[in-house]
Structure 1
Amino acid sequence: MQLDLNLLAALDALLEEGSVAGAAARLHVTAPAMSRSLGRIRRTTGDQILVRTGRTMTPTPYAIAVREQVHELLHQVHGVLAPSRELDLATLERTFTLRWHDSLIALSGPALLSAVREQAPGVRLRFVAESSTDTPELRRGEVDLEANANRPSAPDIRTESVGETHLVVVVRQDHPLTRLKTFTAQQYAAAEHITVSRRGNLSNALDDALAQLGLSRRVVASAPTEAAALEFARTSDLLLCVPDATTRSAVTDLGLAVLPFPLELPSAPVYLSWHHRYDTDPAHAWLRGLARTALTMDGAPS
């Protein structure tokens, strides 16, 4: 039997998108053409691959079992067929989209942009906000590089740990708590709080940790970004918990005071993530190196 590599690409897209329409859009073909490819794949494999369940398509057990293998095979084919390219940064013109946590953009974005401008002035960076829900843009190639505390589980996403950070409490400079010699969990719980939540949640893992001590706190507001929450803390008596890296600029720029977090909590990791299709892309590898340096340099999580 002659192997058609186009079917491998179609199968990969179908398994990633979970629909004929999504796979067609991914490969820039028509839906009828993708439907015909699905038919050929079914005849070749003897498996339905995707079956309709209500309004959605569900992968079969066989499709789930071979999904990672299909990803890897397609990646190997691209590596063999991709022409070798010399990277000329002086003439490189490209726009990269980076979806980073807003605190990481504030801390490490300027250093990254400065390095990019110095080495490749034709390159542009698009920093976009994190979504309030899990989205497939990284897999679709609509986002080139992610940086946050979440480790993607998809087999086709490469992830590298670039550091970790710890929580601290920030308050306005003359907050009554700054005059205490010790800061206890009971004092923390008794205060009023603001949280950072893209979804508008008024509780998080900190409340679970307090509950284990028989404590609870009153969260009076949530803000979608750390920048907004820091401003609330600066102009009120509200307490805000943020990664310690955030405070390195906030203390100077906003005049906030920093208190040690009064509970024992594990550190939070910082991950850099990208789709494996960019593993051998020289320009993307160059950007990853600069991002790694920016995220691990002084002033970023360590």
Structure 2
Amino acid sequence: MQLPDMNLLPALDALLREGSVTGAAARMNVSASAMSRTLGRLRRVLGDPLLVPAGRGLALTPRALELRPRAEAALAGALAALRPAEPLDIASVQRDFTLRTNDAFAVVVGPALTERVAREAPGIRLRFLPEGDEDPADLRDGVDLDIGRLPALPHDVRSAPLARHHFVTVCRAGAPHAHEPLTVERFAALPHITVTRRGRLRGVVDERLAVLGLSRQVLATVPSHATACFLALSSDALALVAAPVAAHAARTMPLVVRDVPLSLPGVDTGMAWHVRVDDDPAHRWLREAVTRAGGGSVTGPR
């Protein structure tokens, strides 16, 4: 269907408001002759004279009277649709955001993030989903923000770095080795609890130990950092977890944090989102809130 010339709408509104060509011309800041020609076009488009002689002036036809409120509303709607967005009032936003991340981020950064949401944006609800065999394509419709170690991303997904962290070990404060020097030999000799979503029994730690002619005993593998910390409380094992998780756990549990006596690679974390929300003010606020809360964001090995 061919659309009418929408430039006629402001002129129609002016003519119906003023009830005269001269008044409409002044309202639109055009000449009376130009407005007269526009009235002619409107009469042809609408099939109605709209304004007819009445004594020394003009009168609106019944069709014009019918159109007046509709033209006014249509023009107001068009102007509202084309007007730049109002500044964000985050306190009035009613929105659900889905964040996909791991337990470490939720435990360490989640409290600061939820506290800020409750204080500044009480109409926002956060839905935390666990990591799994996720696809970045989920960001196109089901997930608002992916947080953690980011895979290769498609062209329509944006990303930003959050932090870089390293791994440490924790053990229960009462373990016989809790306050002894942790040499690489002692480290290898103690049982280990490792965090891996896929239950892998070997990783970079074993590779570095093998170079030194050493090996370790893995007592258990668990999918979450929090679980590793809790298991360490009931054994003499070392739990290998991200440093921010270890620091947080040691403040609330009787755990001792120890450096790993090996050179291990750091882990970069970031957040990813789809271009559909790149310029959305509420989503920008969420990303800024995550960045501020997640300066020490954490993730586990994939």
TM-score (norm 1): 0.67
Q: How far apart are 1:169 and its partner, in Å?
A: 0.9
Match for 2:95: what amino acid?
R
Q: Does 1:105 align with 2:106?
A: yes
Equivalent pair of 1:151/1:159 in contact (CA under 8 Å): no
Higher Rg:
2
Contact 1:138 1:145 (8 Å CA) reproduced: no
1:291 to 2:290 alignment: yes
Look up the match of 1:78.
Answer: none
User: Is the CA contact 1:151–1:271 (under 8 Å) kept in the aligned structure 2?
Assistant: no
Is 1:144 the counterpart of 2:131? The answer is no
Are the aligned partners of 2:169 and 2:246 in contact in 1 as well (CA < 8 Å)? no
Is residue 105 of structure 2 the alignment partner of residue 115 of structure 1?
A: no
Q: Secondary structure at the match of 1:179?
A: coil
The residue aligned with 2:217 is 218
Q: Structure 1 residues 82 and 188 mapped into 2: Cα distance closer, same or farther (>3 Å)?
A: farther
Q: 1:258: which partner in 2?
A: 257
Give unpaired runs (5+ residues) of structure 1: 1-80
Partner of 2:155, secondary structure, is: coil
Quick check: 2:204–2:264 contact (8 Å CA) kept in 1? no
Q: Secondary structure at the match of 1:188?
A: helix
Determine the structure 1 residue equivalent to 2:125: 124
| Distance in 2 between residues matched to 1:201 and 1:84, nearest whole Å | 52
Equivalent pairs counted in the alignment come to 217
Q: Is the 8 A contact 1:100 1:130 kept in 2?
A: yes
Q: Deviations over 1:34-90 (max 9, x none)?
A: xxxxxxxxxxxxxxxxxxxxxxxxxxxxxxxxxxxxxxxxxxxxxxx9974322222
How does 1:84-103 map onto structure 2 within 5 Å?
A: 84-86=84-86, 87-103=88-104
Relative to structure 1, the CA distance from residue 179 to residue 123 in structure 2 (aligned partners, 3 Å threshold; closer, same or farther) is closer
Letter in 2 for 1:198: R
8 A Cα contact 2:168 2:241, kept in partner = yes
Residue 3 of structure 2 aligns with which residue? Answer: none
Is the 1:167–1:261 contact (alpha carbons within 8 Å) kept by the matching residues of 2?
A: yes
- For residue 21 of structure 1, what is the aligned residue in structure 2? none
Is residue 195–residue 223 contact of structure 1 (8 Å, CA) maintained in 2?
yes
Task: Give the partner amino acid of 2:120.
Answer: Q
- Equivalent pair of 1:175/1:237 in contact (CA under 8 Å): yes
Looking at structure 1, the residues matched to 205 and 198 of structure 2 have their Cα atoms a distance apart, in angstroms, of 16
CA spacing shift, 1:82–1:236, aligned 2, 3 Å: farther
SS at structure 1 position matched to 2:109? helix
Q: Secondary structure at the match of 2:192?
A: strand
Partner SS, residue 222 of structure 1? strand
* 201 and 88 in structure 1: CA distance in 2 versus 1, 3 angstrom threshold: same
- 1:77 corresponds in structure 2 to none
Tell me, what secondary structure is at the counterpart of 2:178? helix
What secondary structure does 1:215 align onto?
coil
Q: Secondary structure at the match of 2:177?
A: helix
**Deviation string, structure 1 residues 161-202 (Cα, Å, up to 9, x no partner):** 11111111101102122232x211111111111111222222
Aligned residue for 1:147, secondary structure, equals strand
Letter in 1 for 2:170: V
Alpha-carbon distance between aligned partners in 1 of 2:161 and 2:218, rounded to the nearest angstrom: 31
Which structure 2 residue ranges, 5 or more long, are not aligned?
1-80
Residues 208 and 276 of structure 1: CA distance in aligned 2, closer, same or farther (over 3 Å): farther
Residue deviations 1:208-238 (CA, integer Å, cap 9, x gap): 2222222211112111211111111111011
- The answer on whether the counterparts of 2:139 and 2:145 sit within 8 Å (CA) in structure 1 is no
Distance 2:120 2:83 in 1: 24
Please provide the CA RMSD for this pair. Answer: 2.0
Determine the C-alpha separation between the residues in 2 that align with 1:121 and 1:244: 31
Instruction: Determine helix, strand or coil for the equivalent of 1:90.
Output: helix
Query: Which residue matches 2:19?
Result: none
Give the letter for the 2:250 counterpart: V
CA drift of 1:109 comes to 0.7
Counterpart CA distance in 2 for 1:222 and 1:83 is 56
Aligned to 2:206: 207
